[in-house]
Amino acid sequence: MARLFSYFIGLIVSTIWMLNSDPDKAFFAVPSGLAIGFVIPLLDTTITNLRFLKVACYALRTWKDRVRISASYLYRINVDGDYLLVKGHRFDQYQPVGGVYKTHPSSSGKLRDLSVLNDKLLVPDAVSEGDLRVRVPGKHLVSFVRWFEGERGRETDCWREFHEELVATGILPQELFRLIKYDRVERLYRPMKYSPWANSQELLIADVVELLPTPDQLAALRQLKTTSDSRILWAKEDQIRRRGAADGAASQITQIAQTAEWTVDATV
């Protein structure tokens, strides 16, 4: 952000200098060259820091309030055009494999300095301890996001929830899924909006990752498609976009979380 500000000031100064110079004189090339020289890195830095600029705007809107933040990772598991979803624990819906990141004890000092409080919507327990569902003062929003982006003092690997939801439950065979590979597809900052459930502004951050199965793992996933298990759902893109609604059904029985659509839309 400091570099962006420096480029902006440089552009303003060189532009004013250029406007007050005689274009018919050779010396005019100096301020005009400087202006052009500042424009290119300014555009590049603006694009690179676009998410921070958005967060800075959110911070100004909520300066004296707290913003609820939930930072998670979501798996896109696509096998022959079908997406694998799992039954949610807290809500009666199917959702992508994944969950919120965890903080490490080493981050306690930093989070305390930023006056970060635990989420008050869910009762703390052994499972939710350390979850990155927190309430952050608006004035510290940019600093918190920079800490999150720096990836120090928090979980960065996406294995834990995959193991807990698919391997430890026996849905997928442990001998084949002891190790997995995945690509990071996109980091999403959903537009901040008021959440009646949280009674505050809410900012959702989600890393979409795509499973890269080995041939044996792909075969196991295809085998899973032939079984009947109420804990999972194989859904087509159209059903995901319609949040579970199916053609010809008298009523909607299957509910699909909005986060499933995020995984479908995510791009490299």
Residue range 15-39, pLDDT digits in tens: 665 556 655 555 545 555 555 554 5
- List the chain residues with pLDDT less than 50: 4, 7, 11, 28, 38, 42, 45
Residue 266 and residue 76 in contact, taking contact as beta carbons nearer than 8 Å: yes
Q: What is the pLDDT, as a whole number, of residue 33?
A: 57
Do both 162 and 101 map to the same domain? yes
Task: Judge whether 11 and 39 are in contact, CB under 8 Å.
Answer: yes
Q: Residues of 87-103 as b/e, b for ≥16 C-beta within 10 angstroms?
A: eeeeeebbbbbbbbbbb
Asked if 148 and 105 sit in the same domain, the reply is yes
Token couple for 79: 């096998």
In a domain, 55, yes or no: no
Query: Rounded to an integer, what distance in angstroms lies between the CA atom of residue 130 and that of residue 118?
Result: 9
> How many structural domains is the chain composed of?
2
- Looking at residue 233, its pLDDT comes to 96
Determine the pLDDT at residue 120. Answer: 77
56 domain-assigned: no
Determine the residue type at 148.
F
Please indicate, yes or no, whether residues 224 and 258 belong to a single structural domain of this protein: yes
pLDDT value of position 7: 46
Dihedrals φ, ψ of 91, to 5°?
-125, 145
Q: Are residues 86 and 37 in the same domain?
A: no
Beta pairing partners, 84: 234
Q: Do residues 42 and 94 share a domain? A: no
- Domain holding 28, by residue range, is 2-48
Distance CA 190, CA 54 (A): 10
CB atoms within 10 A of CB 180: 19
Sign of dihedral through CA atoms 63, 67, 72, 77? negative
Domain assignment of residue 220, yes or no: yes
Helix, strand, coil content of the chain in percent (nearest 5):
40, 25, 35
Strands (DSSP E) found in 80-219: 82-87, 94-96, 98-100, 117-118, 133-137, 182-189, 193-195, 200-211
Query: Does residue 213 lie in a domain region?
Result: yes
Residue 246 lies in a domain: yes
101-152 tens-digit pLDDT: 999 999 999 999 999 998 877 666 556 688 999 999 999 999 999 999 999 9
Residues 35 and 141 in one domain: no
